[in-house]
């Protein structure tokens, strides 16, 4: 007997719900097959460490920090909250939190963190292959929708 939600999903017209179902499926697949237990938010943080270590992303972070460090009374609270999350990854041996001259802190992957990150990328590709993912169609959707999130983040001054 088919799962009761198959009919509902096959008739669904809300694109955002379909995208959410797909994203949840990928997340569940990765977490179920990953060699270490990580929460969904920890996987996202690990990916952010890699993203934020890229030179152009780091330059944006330094520029944004210089603008708000003295003016934003909530900045210290944000730093403490972010560090709390990263410290959990540090205890698992996946990242190292460093002092930085131009930022309140910096985070890098450890060797173990790099191995886990590579495993995550591999599992995501396995998942995409197993569900018959049409990368070209998704790329077009991403390009068509990118401007919305970019403009929003820019208005928020990249502070969330």
Q: What is the pLDDT of residue 159?
A: 56
Q: Which residue range(s) make up the domain with 38?
A: 15-151
Q: Residue 5's pLDDT is what?
A: 86
d(CA 42, CA 48): 10
Total domains in the chain come to 1
In a domain, 160, yes or no: no
- Asked whether residue 100 is assigned to any structural domain, the reply reads yes
pLDDT at position 139: 93
User: 78 to each of 73, 74, 99, 150, how far by Cα in Å?
Assistant: 10, 6, 17, 21
156 occurs within a structural domain: no
pLDDT (0 to 100) of residue 117: 98
* In a domain? residue 9: no
pLDDT confidence of residue 160: 46
Residues of the chain with pLDDT under 70: 1, 67-79, 157-160
Asked whether residue 38 is domain-assigned, the answer is: yes
**Do 61 and 103 contact (CB within 8 A), yes or no?**
yes
Q: Examine residue 71 and state whether it is found in any structural domain, yes or no.
A: yes
Which residue, among 53, 37, 160, 145, has the nearest Cα to 98 in the 3D structure? Answer: 53
Say whether 107 sits in a helix, a strand or coil.
Answer: strand
The angle at the Cα of 81, spanning 80 to 82, to the nearest 5 degrees, equals 95
pLDDT value, residue 153: 80
Q: Give me the CATH number covering residue 69.
A: 1.10.10.10
């Amino acid at each position: 007997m088919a799962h009761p939600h198959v009919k509902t999903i096959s008739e669904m017209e809300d694109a955002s719900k379909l995208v959410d179902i797909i994203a949840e499926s990928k997340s569940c697949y990765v977490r179920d097959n990953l060699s270490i237990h990580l929460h969904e938010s920890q996987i996202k943080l690990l990916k952010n460490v890699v993203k934020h270590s890229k030179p152009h992303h780091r330059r944006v972070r330094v520029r944004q920090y210089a603008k708000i460090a003295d003016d934003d009374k909530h900045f210290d609270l944000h730093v403490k909250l972010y560090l709390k999350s990263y410290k959990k990854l540090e205890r698992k041996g996946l990242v190292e939190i460093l002092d930085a001259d131009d930022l309140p802190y910096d985070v890098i992957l450890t060797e173990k963190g790099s191995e886990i990150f590579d495993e995550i990328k591999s599992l995501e590709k396995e998942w995409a292959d197993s569900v018959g993912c049409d990368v070209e169609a998704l790329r077009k959707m991403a390009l068509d929708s990118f401007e919305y999130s970019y403009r929003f983040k820019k208005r928020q001054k990249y502070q969330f």
